[in-house]
Structure 1
Amino acid sequence: MRNQVQLIAYADRLGGSIRGLREVLRTRFAGAFGGVHILPFYVPFDGADAGFDPIDHTAVDPRLGTWGDVADLAATHEVMADLIVNHVSSDSPQFLDVRERGDASPWAELFLTMGSVFPDGAREEDLARIYRPRPGLPFTAIRLGDRLRYVWTTFTPQQIDIDISTHTGREYLESVLDAVTGGGVKLVRLDAVGYAVKTPGTTSFMTPETYRFIAGFADQARTRGAEVLVEVHSYYQRQIEIAEKVDLVYDFALPPLVLHALYTGDGAPLMEWLRIRPTNCVTVLDTHDGIGVIDVGADQTVEPGDPPRPGLLTPDQIDALVEGIHERTGGASRQATGAAASNLDLYQVNSTFYDAVGDDRRYLAARLIQFLTPGVPQVYYVGALAGGNDLDLLRRTSVGRDINRHHYTVDEIDEALARPVVRALMALCRLRSTLPAFDGALEVELDGTTLTMRRRGVVDPTCVVEAAITLADGSARLSWQSREGEWRVDDLLELGGA
């Protein structure tokens, strides 16, 4: 994976198509991003969950382009794509055939039911132990052939879980992997992989069986020339354990810790995480999902009677963090989160990161912390344009995450790029993507509310970048040097020409 900033974007919402996204990257964003994670572009890209419920996971939606367009983009930018390993759409031809023919369908073993996981029935404690991202049990009653069955639906009734332990399930996933890597994709993101393996008597979340599946699937990806990024929201110690066994993991603890530091001036929890975190990370502050809090909270999978496992933040600190987001967004995030919206995520607050931070200087300070933290940084397209919450889209769809999924026109992109905060962020992205100092380890100090971060190049030790961020007010000083000279800015907005 290139050690350069990557963009995360929906092709239809930034550029209108894969070709349009390619043009934005090569012109307006030239030099800022070395790669792009294109969010699901399969058939259909606009289903019940914005493409994360594929009807045909092997085909590019023709409204967005072709595999040739993906390959063309991959010629200049490293492309990451999602592999949705846990489920397919309830409208997929395979599931529709099972609905009509039941066990007589050749696809019957592709899909999970309660009975296929618990053939002898499940006790109350078995069901209560299943780890859930949303309220309720992970089943939907659906008639398959002439029988009413409890079909396994981890996320929504429109997303039918597949049985990856069967021959049909393995063939299905291999066909998806072949299609994606054949289209020039070099990085694959295993979406919601923590839920992919169901094991009776366990939480069915990140179990030893899950790790074995990830390892085997990663081997298959590597033989096709692709690396694997694992997407798991979980207790921070589990993320450290996961990182030891996979190519790449997300650093989902970073966003809430950065917000906590900038809200309170307290950098101690962030410092502790910087001390113990894995380095084979993709760092993010924002994604197509909400701002996670489970990643800094106590372990929610502790068995009854076992001692609690505290998080990086205390429950009171997490409550204050969530209320802080609601306050800074003027209550918009409250309208989009939990029971206020249709996607009842237990562990996320829905808001753009820009609005959650609250002002330009703190926002740039947050990005500076992200870019100096070891790992490969990704910037979500709304965050790249310092976008605010889209309440109009939220009202139209009643989907909480849509508050952070604005559809940008070309004029809106150009208007955003004229703002000093966006120009400064683009300059930071270009610096992060080109300065050799970022191949070195992190040196970090905390003096009161001042966080000092420094990285020195390994290949070229004369190349150094250093930042001093005052967490209490978000002010930051940045300096860097290379063989070409030395530079310093005392206000990050200076990078944007302000």
Structure 2
Amino acid sequence: MTVVLDNLAQKISSQLAIIYEDVDIDLDYQAFANQLIDIMQISVSVQSPEPYQNHWSEQDIIMITYADSVISDNQLPLVNLRSFMNQYVGASINSVHILPFFPYSSDDGFSVIDYSSVNEAHGSWHDIKAIANERRLMADVVINHCSSRSKWFENFTKGEGTGHDYFFTCNADDDVSAVVRPRTSPLLRATATANGEQHVWCTFSHDQVDFDFRNPEVLAQFIKIFRQYLDAGVSIFRLDAVAFIWKKLGSPSINLPQTHEIIRLIRSLVEHAKPDAVLITETNIPNTQNLTYFGNANEAHCIYNFSLPPLLINTLITGNCLYLKRWLMSMPPAQNGTTYFNFIASHDGVGLRPVEGLLSEDEVDTLISTMQSFGGVISWRSTPDGDQKAYEMNIALIDALKGTVDGIDELGFERFICAHAIMLALEGIPGIYIHSLLGTSNDYDKLNHTHHNRSINRRRWYADLLAEHLDDEESSHARILSSMLTLIDLRKAQPAFHPNATQFTLHLGLSLFGFWRQSLDRRQSIFCISNITDQLQSVPIGELNLVLTETWYDLISGLVISDLTQLLDLSPYQTVWLTNKKPE
């Protein structure tokens, strides 16, 4: 064994000691550390990964999609998805996040029956690998829970076999009032087993039964899953609902120290197996808590910027960027080796917990009522006091931005593109939901069929109908896709849009939202300014502190600015990217 491998084993052993310190088990930490290293197939010739390395650049854009977002009668969905990306997205987007593509029983994939298989209705591992050979592939590790129809849970009820001791249980009369949850259903599920009735912990639903990571075998099982996904071509791992994985009676059972240590352990193993692999934590929680998942550049490489969607939508429907600007100014620059994962729409709703402490209750109430007036629905959660509180707004982004607090107007397209122009320019890696690329509106048929609020933004497109729309240049879907890809291609050509490039917030009043980016080599600056109102706005160019000796170019419109004494007029929802580097 090399010194490097010995050091890794010692590091893993120390992490295990922290995780299981308060667990009453007899565990040889050194032997278990070596077992995990063997599972991950880390060779004796391994090199220690260089710390603080950025495994990304301005070239990286991630499309978020379900495996079956594009369907047809004669081809499997994963084949359709690959064809769609190659024909309509091309080289503009180099990465894809395929949401859980495994056999499942509920929650559109997030109640996994078998982690080792691809859902036959979607395709096969061959199809997954074919996509991974063409684009960087991001996949979910649904690490907090699995399906109650899984073989593991079946063995739990039998009291024997793999999985019989994988699930967290407690007594029916235990005090769980402090537990933080995103749902209103009862936390405990009474389950008949060979060992009598047991009460299984269910953070999300009674079909999603929570694992008990106090059992080291659960951790070992998930390390096997990471290894299998690496072998299938996955290089970006989304740790779903990871904040909840460690439970402790009498505590909130969220963000516990053991959770952070488990993430650090997974990071240690994965980065030694594949140095450029990336971990992204999905923690839909208040902003200050979310930031802790960076650790000291030793936990998540990326964290979801969950506060961005509600704050940006609020900005564009109110025409006031106060709260968005305050938040941006408060966000610490991500140190090298970490960055933000930016998104403004996803398969889930627009979370409201991430704006706790950022928006006032009145602002949130106005935001909620406006989304409802645009056809959105609201999902609720139970607080520890037993109250019902809005948890997320379920609405397609194109519908969320079709008007302002004053009602629907004719500027929905401009507002929608403005939102993405802002998101694409921010520090971090952009993630764009397929239905934002396509301008898909609320799917009421699916909502009425499933009675699940999130279904409103999870449409399945028939491939031939989608092609008909996208091949028609006059259709709204083709217009949106063309505009989005143009912005994406512009972004990718700018070193100042590197995810870790310098960013400063500009102070341009409340009707103009702006920030400044500078490339890592300091050769390119970009002033990103957006009119976030439905009225013409002007800004004296001299107030931007542009360097007088240079000519400035708007990358989006092609405008050339040589006279810095003039006014810059911005139409409703227009964005400019002013750079000192002449476009090629």
Task: Say whether the fold is shared (TM-score over 0.5).
Answer: yes
Asked if the contact 1:365/1:474 (under 8 Å) is kept, the reply is no
Measured against aligned partners, the alpha-carbon deviations of 1:192-232 in whole angstroms (never above 9, x if no partner) come to 00111102221100011211111112222222322210000
* Shift in Å, 1:62: 2.6
Q: Return the alpha-carbon distance in structure 2 between the equivalents of residues 163 and 252 of structure 1.
A: 27
1:241 paired residue among 292, 300, 305? 292
Aligned twin of 2:450: 397
Structure 1 pair 49/476, CA: closer, same or farther in 2 (3 Å)? farther
* Shift in Å, 1:146: 4.9
Structure 1 pair 380/487, CA: closer, same or farther in 2 (3 Å)? closer
Measured against aligned partners, the alpha-carbon deviations of 1:104-132 in whole angstroms (never above 9, x if no partner) come to 445321111114xx9xx62xxx3111111
* Shift in Å, 1:64: 2.0
The normalised TM-score by structure 2 is 0.74
Asked if the contact 2:65/2:433 (under 8 Å) is kept, the reply is yes
Return the letter of the residue paired with 2:528: A
Return the letter of the residue paired with 1:397: T
1:12 paired with 2:56, answer no
Return the letter of the residue paired with 2:507: L
1:442 paired with 2:503, answer yes
Q: Return the alpha-carbon distance in structure 2 between the equivalents of residues 476 and 228 of structure 1.
A: 41
Aligned twin of 2:281: 230
SS in 1 for 2:507: strand
SS in 1 for 2:90: coil
Q: Return the alpha-carbon distance in structure 2 between the equivalents of residues 51 and 321 of structure 1.
A: 29
Asked if the contact 1:84/1:190 (under 8 Å) is kept, the reply is yes
Aligned twin of 1:349: 393
Q: Return the alpha-carbon distance in structure 1 between the equivalents of residues 162 and 327 of structure 2.
A: 49
Q: Return the alpha-carbon distance in structure 1 between the equivalents of residues 234 and 389 of structure 2.
A: 30
Aligned twin of 2:228: 179
* Shift in Å, 1:454: 3.2
1:108 paired residue among 154, 157, 164? 164
Aligned twin of 2:354: 295
2:316 paired residue among 262, 265, 284? 262
* Shift in Å, 1:83: 0.2
SS in 2 for 1:58: coil
Return the letter of the residue paired with 1:461: R
* Shift in Å, 1:465: 3.6
Aligned twin of 1:305: none
- Bigger mean CA offset, 417-426 vs 5-14: 417-426
Q: Return the alpha-carbon distance in structure 1 between the equivalents of residues 109 and 225 of structure 2.
A: 15
Q: Return the alpha-carbon distance in structure 1 between the equivalents of residues 376 and 574 of structure 2.
A: 26
Aligned twin of 2:514: 452
- Bigger mean CA offset, 217-226 vs 313-322: 217-226
Return the letter of the residue paired with 2:396: T
Q: Return the alpha-carbon distance in structure 2 between the equivalents of residues 452 and 416 of structure 1.
A: 34
What is the RMSD computed on CA atoms of the aligned residues? Answer: 2.7
* Shift in Å, 1:493: 8.8
1:199 paired with 2:245, answer no
Aligned twin of 1:308: none
Structure 1 pair 214/41, CA: closer, same or farther in 2 (3 Å)? same
* Shift in Å, 1:488: 4.3
Structure 1 pair 476/284, CA: closer, same or farther in 2 (3 Å)? farther
* Shift in Å, 1:397: 1.1
SS in 1 for 2:447: helix
Aligned twin of 2:325: 271
Q: Return the alpha-carbon distance in structure 1 between the equivalents of residues 413 and 379 of structure 2.
A: 24
Q: Return the alpha-carbon distance in structure 2 between the equivalents of residues 266 and 113 of structure 1.
A: 48
Aligned twin of 2:371: 325
- Runs (4+) of structure 1 exceeding 6 A deviation are 474-477, 490-495
Return the letter of the residue paired with 1:452: G
Aligned twin of 1:406: 459
Measured against aligned partners, the alpha-carbon deviations of 1:121-168 in whole angstroms (never above 9, x if no partner) come to 62xxx3111111112441111101151111111111111111122132
Q: Return the alpha-carbon distance in structure 2 between the equivalents of residues 67 and 82 of structure 1.
A: 15
Aligned twin of 2:150: 92
Q: Return the alpha-carbon distance in structure 1 between the equivalents of residues 152 and 556 of structure 2.
A: 59
Return the letter of the residue paired with 1:407: R
Measured against aligned partners, the alpha-carbon deviations of 1:436-457 in whole angstroms (never above 9, x if no partner) come to 2212322331322111233233
Q: Return the alpha-carbon distance in structure 2 between the equivalents of residues 210 and 476 of structure 1.
A: 48
SS in 1 for 2:89: coil
Q: Return the alpha-carbon distance in structure 1 between the equivalents of residues 494 and 467 of structure 2.
A: 26
Structure 1 pair 200/25, CA: closer, same or farther in 2 (3 Å)? same
Aligned twin of 2:85: 25
Aligned twin of 2:260: 211
SS in 1 for 2:116: strand
1:364 paired with 2:417, answer yes
Structure 1 pair 487/239, CA: closer, same or farther in 2 (3 Å)? closer
Structure number with greater Rg is: 2
Q: Return the alpha-carbon distance in structure 1 between the equivalents of residues 91 and 323 of structure 2.
A: 34
Q: Return the alpha-carbon distance in structure 1 between the equivalents of residues 193 and 101 of structure 2.
A: 29
Structure 1 pair 153/80, CA: closer, same or farther in 2 (3 Å)? same
